[in-house]
Amino acid sequence: MSRRKKIIFGILILLLVALVVIVVILPRVLDLDRYRPQIVELIEKQSGRPAAMGHLALTVFPRLSIRADDFTLKNPAGFPQGDFLKAQRIYAIVDVWSLWNYQVVIKSLDLERPEINLLCDLRGNWNSGNQTSPTSSAPDPPGDKPLFTLGPISNVKISKGRLSVANELPSGQAGPAFVEANGVSGRLRQFDPNALAESGQGESQRSSLVAEGTFEVAVLHVTNVVVNDVKSKIHLFPKQVFFDGLEFKGYGGGARGDLSFSFVSPNTRYHTQARLSGVNVTKLLDAFPDARGKMTGILDGDLDLDGEVGQFPDPLAAMAGSGHLTARKGRFPTLHLDTNLLQLFRVAKMGPASGDPSAFSSIAMDFTIANDRIHTTKAKIVGNGVEIEAAGSLGLAGNGSLDYQGVARLATSKNTLTSVLEGLTGATLKRGKMVFPFKLTGTFKNPQFTLRPNGTGNKQ
Domain segments of the chain: what residues?
Answer: 332-451
- Cα separation, 268 vs 274, whole angstroms: 20
Length of the chain as a residue count: 460
Nearest to 397 by CA among 420, 429, 373: 373
Which residues share a beta bridge with 449?
Answer: 440
pTM > 0.85: yes or no: no
DSSP label at residue 126:
B
Provide the pLDDT for residue 18. 47
Provide the pLDDT for residue 456. 45
Convert 47-57 to b/e letters by CB count within 10 Å (16 or more is b). bbbbbebeebb
- Cα separation, 99 vs 332, whole angstroms: 69
With beta carbons less than 8 A apart as the criterion, state whether 357 and 342 touch. yes
Provide the pLDDT for residue 315. 53
Q: Is 14 exposed, middle or buried (0-12, 13-18, 19+ CB in 10 A)?
A: exposed
Q: Checking DSSP bridges between strand 153-167 and strand 104-120, what pairing results, if any?
A: parallel
pLDDT digits (tens, 9 = 90+) for 215-254: 999 999 988 899 999 999 999 988 889 999 999 999 999 9
Residue 419: strand, helix, or coil: helix
Provide the pLDDT for residue 202. 43
pLDDT digits (tens, 9 = 90+) for 53-92: 998 887 766 667 788 999 999 999 889 999 999 999 999 8
SS (H, E, C) 164-196: EEEEECCCCCECCCCEEEEEEEEEEEEECHHHH
Q: Mean pLDDT per 10-residue run, the chain (460 residues)?
A: 56 51 49 81 83 85 79 91 92 74 76 92 78 47 56 89 91 89 94 66 58 95 92 90 95 95 79 94 86 88 84 62 92 62 51 65 92 88 82 82 86 60 63 78 79 50
